[in-house]
Chains A and B, each alone.
Chain A
Amino acid sequence: MNKNEKIITRREFLANLAKIGATGLATYVGSAILSKDLFANESNKEDRKHHYGMVIDVKRCVGCRACVLACKAENKTPPGVYYTVVVDQVLDNRPNDKPIFMTKPCFHCENPPCTDVCPVSATFKRKTDGIVVVDYDRCIGCRYCMTACPYSARWFDFGENYPAIEEKTAWAQVPSPEYKEFRIRKKDESPVGNVRKCTFCMHLQDEKGEYDKTCTGFAIHFGDFNDPNSEVSVLLRERQYIRLKEELGTNPSVYYLI
């Protein structure tokens, strides 16, 4: 570099750096003040009445997938959207034995990683019962929550339909009871273009506080962990259990008995 074109002195350079730092800090502090809830504690313990969850006995599961069908029939989910799935895993060196079947709904984690990443707070954990829900009218369909869920419990509605319930058929006029919103499926209208997920069939519990069981082997138990006498609480006291990917600190509300 030519000596005559000496561009800036070190003092000027440092002064510039200081300005950059100061503006950066100012931007950060300003934005932090704007977002009042940045450091606020979200879940207020006193509001919490129920802690709904499931205890699933994998030994009793026969892999009939009645739960998958019941869910499909109840929530009227389109192809590619499965609020629960049954995965099976053949045991090593025991190809002729019953594989391990595992039904996997949304785990409604106590520390859900999916809700914090939503840019518009469209998905959140309900304060009263801890169910993780999606506000279909607010969700913009960015699918960030799907990447953040470690359990693949979230599904994007691409707007596809099963051939038998293609748009103009009578079947398509049957609303989905999800969130008691009773939406009729239409092109380009929510929940098409939204992220969807298991709701623990909360449209059934709000009234009756019970859960329709279709499980043939009585492997799925649903209940309130806050009630010490509920079936699920008793099962957890008496049996050995695991939860998936506990190392991520998500604290799932679905337990697998082993």
Chain B
Amino acid sequence: MSAEIKKMSVLKKIFWFIAIIAFICGIYGWYSRLFYGHKDAHYGNIITWGLWVAAYIYFTGLSAGSFLVSSLVYVFNFKKFEKIGKVALFTAFVTLLMALLSIWADLGHMLRAWHVMVYPNYKSPMAWMITLYTVYMLLIIAEIYFVMRYDFVIGKNTQGLKGKLYKFFSFGSNNASDERRKKDLRIVKFLATLGIPIAIMFSGGVGALFGIVAARPHWHSGLFPILFLLSALVSGGALLTLIASVFQKGLNKNKEIVLELGRLVLVLLLIDVLFQVSEFLITYLGGIPGHIAGWDLVVKGPYAWVFWGWQGFIGTVIPIFLLAFHKTRKSPIWVAIAGLLIAAGIFGLRLNIVIPGLAIEEIHGLTNAIFSNRVTIQYFPSISEWSLTIGIIGFGMILFGFAEKFLPDYDE
């Protein structure tokens, strides 16, 4: 037992090490963004969206995915995942913050972000997204409060920072009766139920944000919202598999959860692959040059390795093998590794959506007409872009790590 605990603490140490290094890496990115605007970024007027937008849709996917897994517990009463219900909610909250930070940095005028609340144009999917994010964030915060209220009241008088935090977050509530707890859970159920359509709408909505752009045939497909939703579920589930095996006593306690999540993620991943294959085949066999140009870039462009290596081999083939092969699928460690690989692979998928869709001359000869590094179909994120994205990941990890430390023990 003590050896197992030691192993866990090593994993947590690795987590904190990565988190802090990543956070420090981000300082340069934020400095560059805040003082030099977009000058250091490598996207331009042809590839208008780059790494930050890809990171944004990736994080929203993680958020929607983990929220929907948490709602399995709080709406559908799926007892097996009960232990990770709270962690899943926190993951949804933290990844949502990461998503909003990414897209905030991407704006040309960061200080005008409030415009979308005051002057929304509801013909634009983006305005819908903002409305949905706001509702979704308030809903998650309320849900976290009502899920945790009982624990806050109970743990109010413990020593140290935990007690103080609990006292603060209980907001003066003192009632620890069973009756009140039942009422809390009813509220949670209501909020979580309300959250399901919202989470589906906003992760599908991000897909719609891309899908409605008829000028970009690579995005313009009715499958896009569904693909985004599926990828969200896959990445969220995969991330939770990993989290369940490291946090909340990790594999010592959560073996069953990890295995169960692994099975769920495998099914979702296979459906996701099915949809992608469908999208690919219809586009390719349709054979319209403008439509296949995006896929051509994906499968044989300069960054084909992102598709074949990163998204395909690391993010899809190996995990499917690990989750399906009868020896590895019963080993929580292998399942957790599969979760890590899938969560990493979906990032490649997000990059492969954003960049190949844009990296095409809309007017033949445009890139030759102007000699400017802003008018080119080449794109590789700059150091400041990488740095800022890694920094946001570090920030999210630190926030999550702290929050997780103060979650109540489930043995209580």
Chain A residues at the B interface, C-beta cutoff of 8 Å: 5, 7-8, 13, 16, 19-21, 23-24, 27, 31-32, 34-35, 37-38, 79-82, 85-89, 104, 113, 116-122, 138-144, 146-152, 154-160, 187-188, 190, 192-195, 244, 248
Q: How far in angstroms is the closest Cβ of chain A from B261?
A: 15
B365 beta carbon closer than 8 Å to chain A: yes
Complex: how many Å from CA A87 to CA B296? Answer: 24
B370 beta carbon closer than 8 Å to chain A: yes
Q: How far in angstroms is the closest Cβ of chain B from A254?
A: 12
A and B contact pairs by CB, cutoff 8 A, 13 listed: A5-B79, A13-B76, A20-B193, A23-B197, A31-B131, A80-B374, A117-B125, A118-B124, A138-B119, A144-B124, A155-B45, A158-B374, A193-B109
- Residues of A contacting B115 in the complex (Cβ-Cβ under 8 angstroms): 120, 122, 138, 140
In this complex, the member of B41, B112, B212, B213 whose beta carbon has the largest number of chain A beta carbons within 10 angstroms is B112
Complex: how many Å from CA A34 to CA B134? Answer: 15
Q: Are A89 and B365 in contact (CB under 8 A)?
A: yes
Complex: how many Å from CA A35 to CA B123? Answer: 9
Complex: how many Å from CA A150 to CA B357? Answer: 12
Chain B residues at the A interface, C-beta cutoff of 8 Å: 36-39, 41, 44-46, 48-49, 75-79, 106-109, 112-113, 115-116, 119-128, 130-131, 135, 193-194, 196-198, 200-201, 209, 212-216, 357-358, 361-366, 368-370, 372-375
Please, which residue of chain B has its CB at the minimum distance from the CB of A157? B108
Q: Are B109 and A194 in contact (CB under 8 A)?
A: yes
Closest 7 A/B residue pairs (Cβ): A141-B108, A24-B197, A80-B374, A193-B108, A35-B122, A150-B215, A87-B365
Partner of B108, one of A79, A89, A195: A195
Q: Are A20 and B124 in contact (CB under 8 A)?
A: no
Complex: how many Å from CA A113 to CA B368? Answer: 26
Q: Are B197 and A27 in contact (CB under 8 A)?
A: yes
- Residues of A contacting B130 in the complex (Cβ-Cβ under 8 angstroms): 119
Once A118-B124, A119-B124, A192-B37 are accepted as A-B contacts, the answer to whether A147 and B366 lie under 8 Å apart by CB is no
- Residues of B contacting A117 in the complex (Cβ-Cβ under 8 angstroms): 123-126, 212-213
Once A31-B128, A150-B362 are accepted as A-B contacts, the answer to whether A159 and B39 lie under 8 Å apart by CB is yes
Q: Are A104 and B363 in contact (CB under 8 A)?
A: yes
Complex: how many Å from CA A150 to CA B365? Answer: 14
Q: Are B193 and A19 in contact (CB under 8 A)?
A: yes
Q: Are B215 and A140 in contact (CB under 8 A)?
A: no
Q: Are B364 and A87 in contact (CB under 8 A)?
A: yes
Q: How far in angstroms is the closest Cβ of chain A from B133?
A: 12
Q: Are B112 and A146 in contact (CB under 8 A)?
A: no
Known: A81-B45, A150-B215. 6 other contacts (CB 8 A): A85-B370, A87-B366, A89-B364, A113-B213, A120-B116, A194-B109
Complex: how many Å from CA A116 to CA B369? Answer: 29
- Residues of A contacting B372 in the complex (Cβ-Cβ under 8 angstroms): 79-80
- Residues of B contacting A13 in the complex (Cβ-Cβ under 8 angstroms): 76
Complex: how many Å from CA A144 to CA B50? Answer: 12
Once A38-B122, A152-B46 are accepted as A-B contacts, the answer to whether A20 and B197 lie under 8 Å apart by CB is yes
Please, which residue of chain A has its CB at the minimum distance from the CB of B38? A158
Q: Are B363 and A159 in contact (CB under 8 A)?
A: no
Complex: how many Å from CA A142 to CA B121? Answer: 14
Complex: how many Å from CA A226 to CA B110? Answer: 41
